[in-house]
Amino acid sequence: MVAVNKLYSVTELAAELKVTPRALRFYEDKGLIVPQRAGKTRVYTHRDRGRIILILRGKRLGFSLREIAEWLDLYDQDPGQVEQMRLTLSKTRKRIKALEARQRDLEETLQELRGIETAVEDFLKSKGADAEAAE
């Protein structure tokens, strides 16, 4: 379990979340996180850690940083999280549709490539050539 009042250095948090310190600074430059300062040193709170986890999840799911920022901003503005959840649902549905369309396109492309593969293998066999040598 993570302590809520723990502060993290750039190096600690980057190592824990398996990102580079540069990535943390990038998210800071984009206004997605606002670390505190201890002198000139950046320190990250449990809240910053949670926001970074959400950022990384959003990126992994294919959302843009703009979309992630919009979602995080709603979290701050809407303590009940109703608007945030509505936005999440809308964005999730759009992402699912886009991925399903991409999946259909990929299946069509794979089917076409498999047809070409079979035709070329058949051609090579008819010429007595070894199709496996092409790999």
Q: Which residues contact 28 (CB under 8 A, 6 or more apart)?
A: 34, 35, 42
pTM above 0.85, yes or no: no
pLDDT-above-70 percentage for the chain:
95
Q: For 1-65, CATH number? A: 1.10.1660.10
Q: What is the pLDDT of residues 66-95, one digit of tens each?
A: 999 988 888 778 778 888 889 889 999 999
Q: Report the pLDDT value the prediction gives residue 46, as an integer from 0 to 100.
A: 92
**pLDDT band (50, 70, 90) for residue 23:** very high
What residues form DSSP beta bridges with 66?
A: none
Q: Give the Cα separation of 66 and 16 in Å (integer).
A: 25
